[in-house]
């Protein structure tokens, strides 16, 4: 494969949206990484553990101005939502499973930023790993862009409303990106040494 070109693939994921004034302090006590110190536009990689240290879910946590988004494997999302809800007592937090509202188009490779510029009306700034920005596509769909590596070359995940993802993917392919399937995406992940829940984790 030629990793000098941008590669696009769709990702099946689970997503929980947390709102309420206590959302970050609540998640801080539930996961393995420091969430309380994150500011809107930042994110982190974390694990959700049981009381003996087994990994129940691998997480990417994204901080926005009015909400917090927990991204996890689709197989983990229902159990994670139930467990988090069980530990809510007096905290001002509401948890919603928004997995069905979003599609993720991942664009990876050296050409990822240039390819995304062809479908976004929002300029792409330099982003650190797991930083996010709100974006608008040239078709006026609103979503998020997250800097995240699923390959050696790195890239971005484009979070889009379900009904917007197909058109954006078609635009990317028309502009020179290569659509890859699940098997190729898995090869790229393993080559990059990125662990995944259900496999290495």
Region 11-28: what's the mean pLDDT?
95
DSSP state of 40: T
Indicate yes or no: pTM above 0.85: yes
Convert the pLDDT of each residue in 116-127 to its tens digit.
999 999 999 999
- 3-state DSSP: the chain helix, strand, coil percent, rounded to 5? 25, 30, 45
Q: Pick from 124, 176, 181, 183: which is nearest to 155 by CA?
A: 124
Contact by Cβ (8 Å): 56, 30: no
Other C-beta atoms closer than 10 Å to the C-beta of 29 total 10
Region 127-153: what's the mean pLDDT?
97
Strand partners, 133: 145
Task: Tell me the average pLDDT of the chain.
Answer: 94
């Amino acid at each position: 494969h030629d990793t000098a070109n941008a590669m696009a693939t769709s990702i099946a994921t689970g997503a929980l949206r947390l709102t309420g004034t206590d959302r970050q302090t609540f998640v801080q006590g539930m996961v393995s990484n420091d969430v309380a110190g994150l500011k809107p536009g930042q994110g982190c990689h974390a694990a959700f553990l049981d009381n003996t240290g087994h990994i129940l879910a691998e997480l990417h946590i994204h901080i926005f101005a009015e909400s917090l988004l927990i991204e996890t494997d689709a197989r983990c999302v229902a159990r994670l939502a139930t467990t988090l809800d069980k530990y809510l007592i007096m905290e001002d937090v509401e948890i919603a499973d928004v997995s069905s509202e979003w599609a993720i188009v991942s664009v990876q490779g050296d050409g990822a930023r240039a390819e995304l510029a062809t479908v976004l009306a929002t300029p792409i700034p330099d982003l650190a790993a797991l930083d996010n920005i709100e974006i608008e596509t040239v078709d006026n769909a609103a979503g998020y862009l997250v800097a995240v590596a699923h390959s050696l070359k790195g890239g971005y995940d484009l979070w889009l409303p379900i009904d917007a993802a197909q058109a954006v993917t078609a635009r990317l392919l028309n502009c020179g990106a290569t659509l890859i399937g699940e098997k190729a995406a898995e090869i790229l992940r393993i080559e990059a040494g990125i662990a995944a829940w259900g496999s290495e984790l």
